[in-house]
Amino acid sequence: MDRGSEGSFIDVLLTLMWSTIGTALIPALIPWIIYVICNRTEVGKMKGMVVMITGSSSGLGEQLAHSFYKRGCKLILAARRVTELERVKNDLLDLVVEDVSTYEPVIVELDLADIKSIPRKVNNLLNTYGHIDYLINNGGISYRGKITETTVDVDQTVMLINYFGTVTLTKAVLPSMIEQRRGHIVAISSVQGRIAIPHRSAYSASKHALQAFMDCLRAEVSKDGINVTVINPGYIKTNLSVNAVTGSGNKYGVMDETTSRGYEASEAAEKIYYSIAREDKELTLAPLLPRIAIILRSFCPSLYFLLMKRRAMKLPPVHT
């Protein structure tokens, strides 16, 4: 074979190779291209929207603030610790964000346990911005303890913050959303809002209740143009377990091993951001094992109960 023939053979071979690759890749690329275009459209519509995030002084709430701020949203940062809110606000203002107009966040001291003050504070916020487009109910408290060693006061505290505080805030914001026929309510629940595990009774109960409330709310306000998204994260690497209360009401003060191996808060925040932008009804942000547990609880409860029984027997005592 001379060099000319050899060159022609290689050209034909390359043409066939690229043709084969193209034939195989194009069908796979089309859904991906559509997904990217749709995501850009969904994300773009959130620019300039007013977003209120509770529990935004640290952890997941702080990272959610970063995710929404760099997309050009007008933020209301709410939490009990004003000093930490100021820190988060300053960190956001120091960010270099290209190609997007950013807005100085508004901070508000908000204690979800003080439910009587919540409507008044929401009215003040509505006077500032006129409306709230997205309410992200992220604030809450965790718990570690055995039921037999937990006072009813602790049960009430966890339920007050995680459920009644969130419900009160949601109900305070809803009328303005219904009036403008637009809005989005987001609840950061938990995998434990779908399944219950030992030593989490108060926490799981509060998240179960929140899940049920949001499912009812979604159905009732859909006619008003309002979306409801429930996020069910697994373990996220934050101080949630450190700040958890025990059965006696004391601070748990320990970073659980499962928590330390969880999602990075920044990674979780980005996934949650896109889920909200897509207007998902629900997102379970967890690895395979918790997803299997959710399925077992629904379709094979006897096996699930047996596994939880064994888990409870192996757990060490919770120091109070």
Nearest partner of 196 among 307, 87, 76, judged by Cα: 307
- The catalytic residues are 203
Using a 10 angstrom Cβ sphere, with 0-12 exposed, 13-18 middle and 19 or more buried, the burial of residue 307 is middle
Using a 10 angstrom Cβ sphere, with 0-12 exposed, 13-18 middle and 19 or more buried, the burial of residue 131 is middle
pLDDT tens digits, 193-249? 999 999 999 999 999 999 999 999 999 999 999 999 999 999 888 877 778 888 888
Is the confidence at residue 40, as pLDDT, over 70?
no
Distance CA 56, CA 39 (A): 25
HSE toward the beta carbon, residue 203, CA cutoff 13 A? 25
3-state secondary structure of 90: helix
Bridge partner list, 227: 184
Distance CA 236, CA 244 (A): 14
Which tokens belong to 149?
A: 């060693």
Confidence of residue 43 (pLDDT cuts 50, 70, 90): low
Cβ atoms within 10 Å of 148's Cβ, excluding its own = 6
Is the confidence at residue 159, as pLDDT, over 60?
yes
What's the full length of the chain, in residues?
Answer: 320
pLDDT tens digits, 99-144? 899 999 999 999 999 999 999 999 999 988 889 999 999 999 999 9
